[in-house]
Amino acid sequence: MKVQYQAKPQYILSTFILFFIIHSIQVGIGIHSFQRIIFPEAKHDSWISVVLAGVITHIVVFVIIKTLQLYGPTDIYGIHIEVYGKWIGKVVNSIYIFYCLSMFVIILNNYIEVIQTWVFPIVPSWVFSISILLLVVYGVTGGIRVIAGAGFFSIILSVWMLIFFGYPLRFVDFHHLLPVMESNITSILKGAYKMAITLIGFEILYIVYPFLEDRKQVQKYAHLGIAASNILYLVLMLLSISYFSPGQLENTNWPTLSLFKIVKLPFIERTEYVAVSFWLLIILPNLLLYMWAAVRGVKRSFGRKTNRVIWVFTFFIFFVSIFINTRLKLNQVNDILDNIAFYIAICYPFILYILALIKKKMTSLKEK
């Protein structure tokens, strides 16, 4: 397998689309409940944890791009082969492929749980699983341009939802944010750790990079996408702390969706139903990108045909999602994968960058 990969002209993306790719994959199912996860740790200073996590993601993305720039047009699968060698590199690639599939499963099952709880409680989960998986197969077979288009339109078509977050402003009490820094540093850092897991998704840059037209602009649009996500999460956290009481925020499973419940429109009785159903458009780019990244990993590492691999992964995900059929199992899987995702998406880029630098240095010394 060649380390560098030059994408065909028909698959090249305008670099500005990276903003929509990064932002769409970060704003997925986690935005429903991130407040409940962070608030028990940092209390009313949770917004500080959000800011710290945002800074961390900017640093990690900077390191990811620097790693990619060492090899020109390439992806993480090519870098693994270069750094670890052919056989170990393929093993590491397999782990990364499994990570992408695991993230797909967790996003899919969390969304199915939300839609069953809020809208269709008696519809079996396998019905939603099949419907969404078929939609993902259709999108992935269309290629990276179709997937990037889905990320673009998921943001453009969901901007209207931000208007509804203005309704709770009439009932907020910003005194809930005081006093600042009452929580200790350890609690704030624990909250930042959990918030960083919510922001995971930017590592898809490892796969998208060789398809971007002007790679000199990658830093600009990647950081703009992350900044947009960080600002959105920060605003929602400040709004939630100010609107809910501490006891409510700790015991509300989906605080963001609960904010929709107070919205009253003459032509829509339950606005949260619309939000939950419409959220499929928002999580779809997440699913498409992770499935595409896994399929691409198999193609790059093992030279397998794309269409066959998509169907194998689809059946695998379907049977796994059926097995995760209770809230207890879903929580257990969430806890395990959250820890794994933190090390792969947040910590591993620094290790890979150091190894890539060492490998480059050794190669240059041999050439001399």
What is the mean predicted confidence (pLDDT) over 134-159? Answer: 92
> How confident is residue 232, by pLDDT bands cut at 50, 70 and 90?
very high
Rg (CA), the chain: 21
Q: How high is the mean pLDDT of the chain?
A: 90
Please check the confidence at residue 81 and state whether its pLDDT lies above 80: yes
Is pLDDT above 70 for 259?
yes
Total Cβ atoms within 10 A of residue 92: 21
Q: At what angle do helices 86-118 and 271-302 cross, to 10 degrees?
A: 170
Q: Who has greater pLDDT, 260 or 283?
A: 283
pLDDT(233) > 70: yes
pLDDT band of 126, cuts 50, 70, 90: very high
- The residue-averaged pLDDT of 84-88 equals 92
Question: Token pair for residue 193?
Answer: 């750790």
The whole-number average pLDDT for the span 107-113 is 93
pLDDT score of 7 more than 90: no
CB atoms within 10 A of CB 4: 12
**pLDDT at res. 303:** 83
| Of residues 119 and 194, more confidently modeled | 194
For residue range 331-367, what is the model confidence (pLDDT) as tens digits? 899 889 989 999 999 999 999 999 999 998 888 777 7
| Alpha carbon of residue 17 to chain centroid | 16
Q: Which domains does the chain have, with CATH numbers?
A: 9-361 (1.20.1740.10)
Q: pLDDT tens-digit profile of 198-226?
A: 999 999 999 999 999 988 899 999 999 99
Asked if residue 114 lies in contact with residue 248, where contact means CB atoms within 8 angstroms, the answer is: no
Q: What pTM did the predictor assign?
A: 0.94
pLDDT of residue 71: 87
